[in-house]
Amino acid sequence: MSDVKKVVLAYSGGLDTSVILKWLEDTYGCEVVTFTADLGQGEELEPARTKAEAMGVKEIYIEDLREEFVRDFVFPMFRANTVYEGEYLLGTSIARPLIAKRLIEIANETGADAISHGATGKGNDQVRFELGAYALKPGVKVIAPWREWDLLSREKLLNYAAEHNIPIERHGKKSPYSMDANLLHISYEGGVLEDTWAEHEEEMWRWSVSPEAAPDQPTYLELTYRQGDIVAINDQPMSPATVLAELNRIGGANGIGRLDIVENRFVGMKSRGCYETPGGTIMLKAHRAIESITLDREVAHLKDELMPRYAEIIYNGFWWSPERAMLQQMIDASQANVNGVVRLKLYKGNVIVVGRKSDDSLFDAAIATFEDDAGAYDQADAAGFIKLNALRMRIAASKGRKLL
C-alpha cells in the first residue's frame, strides 16, 4: 500500500498532466491537489480549473505569479547579465525555481506528503523541479510519472485518456514542436529542429516578426534604472511584469529576440532549441550599457568572470542553493549605484545603444577628452606605468626567454 496520501501536481490541464492526475489516483491511491501558475504564458487558465473539477479534484490552486516571477527571479538574474553558453537567456530555467517553491508551499498548506510534475526523464526540468523541492523540503517525496510509467508516446496517452474518460480538448492540428512559454520567453524543441542542418520554419515563431518584415523606421525608447532594475519605460513608471510585457511587445514588433542554438543539457546530451526572448534581449543590452558608466572597472570585470558560473547554476537547477544565494548577494551589492537612463534604437532585429546617462556615472569627460584636459591627467605618467607593467617581460627577454 502506498504511503502517499496526498500529492500536489504541477497541472496545466493539457494531455500530459490530465493523464498524470488520473494515473496518480490509480497508481498511488492518493488525493491530488492541482497547482496551475500564470507566469505570463498567454493562455487562459480557467479551463484548467474546469477540467480539474470535472475529474473530482477538491483542492485547486490557480495563481497569478507574473509579478513575483519577474521581480524575484527574472530581474535578479538580469542584474548579473546572465547568459548560458554565450547566447541563451535562460527563459525556461528561471521559471522552475518559482514553480518548485509554490509546489512545496502548497504541500505544506494542504498537508500533502508528495509533489509531482510532468517533466520527462530526458530533460533538464526534472532536475530543476526536484533540486528545488529537496532544498526547500528535504523529506518530500517526488513522483515523476515519465520515469515510472509505460505511456511513452502521445498515442498511448490518448488511449489512456479515452479508457478513463479523461476530458481532452482538441484544437485541430497539433504543433510539431514542444513549446514552453512564460513572460520571459517561448521555447521550441522537436520537429524539424531535431535536424541541426535544417533551418527553422518562419511559421514557428509566435511573438516576433522576422527582421526582414520589421518596420523600415527605427523605434527609440528610454529605460530608467534604479539599482539595476528597470522601473520606467519612456518616463512611464511600470511594475516589473509590466516592464517585461511591454518590452516583449516593442521588441517583437521590431524582429528582436530570436535565437537558434544547440545547448548542452545538464543530463548530458546536446539539444537544439529555438527561443524568442524579445524583452530579455533588450534588457541585457540596456543593463550592460547602464553598468558601463556606473560600475567600477574591477567590479564589472569580476561580475563578467563570475557570470558563466552563475548562469550554469541557474541552468542546472541550483537556484535554491547556498552558492547561488552567495553570488546573488554580491551581484545585488554591485547594483547600488546602477541608476540612470539608457536610450536605445531598435531596428530590424538589432538593439543599438545610442545614449546613457546617470547621476552616479563614473565617466568624466574632463579626463577622457581628446582635447586639452587642463591638467586633469598627466600623460607623462603613462611612461612609468607601462614600464612597470612590462618589467616581468623585459626580465624574461633579457634572460633569453623566447616567445617567437
Residue of 16, 93, 187, 334 marked active site = 16
79 catalytic? Reply is no
Residue of 96, 128, 258, 356 marked active site = 96
Residue of 79, 102, 125, 128 marked active site = 125
153 catalytic? Reply is no
Backbone angles phi, psi at 363, to 5 degrees: -75, 125
Cell of 68: 513575483
Handedness of CA 39, 92, 99, 23 (dihedral sign): positive
Strand order through the sheet with 350-357: 236-237, 229-233, 219-226, 340-347, 350-357
CA 390/CA 357 separation, integer angstroms: 36
Closest CA to 150 of 160, 140, 135, 163: 160
16 catalytic? Reply is yes
Backbone angles phi, psi at 351, to 5 degrees: -115, 110
178 catalytic? Reply is yes
Residue of 38, 72, 113, 178 marked active site = 178
> Residues with Cβ < 8 Å from 285, sequence gap 6 or more?
344, 351, 353
> Residues with Cβ < 8 Å from 89, sequence gap 6 or more?
82, 83, 184, 185, 259, 275, 277, 280, 281, 284
What are the C-alpha distances in Å from 333 to residues 227, 228, 322, 329, 338?
9, 10, 17, 6, 10
**Are residues 155 and 174 in contact, defined by beta-carbon separation less than 8 angstroms?**
no
Radius of gyration of the chain, Cα coordinates, nearest whole angstrom: 25
> Residues with Cβ < 8 Å from 238, sequence gap 6 or more?
230, 231, 232, 246
Amino acid at 5: K
Catalytic residues: 16, 96, 125, 178
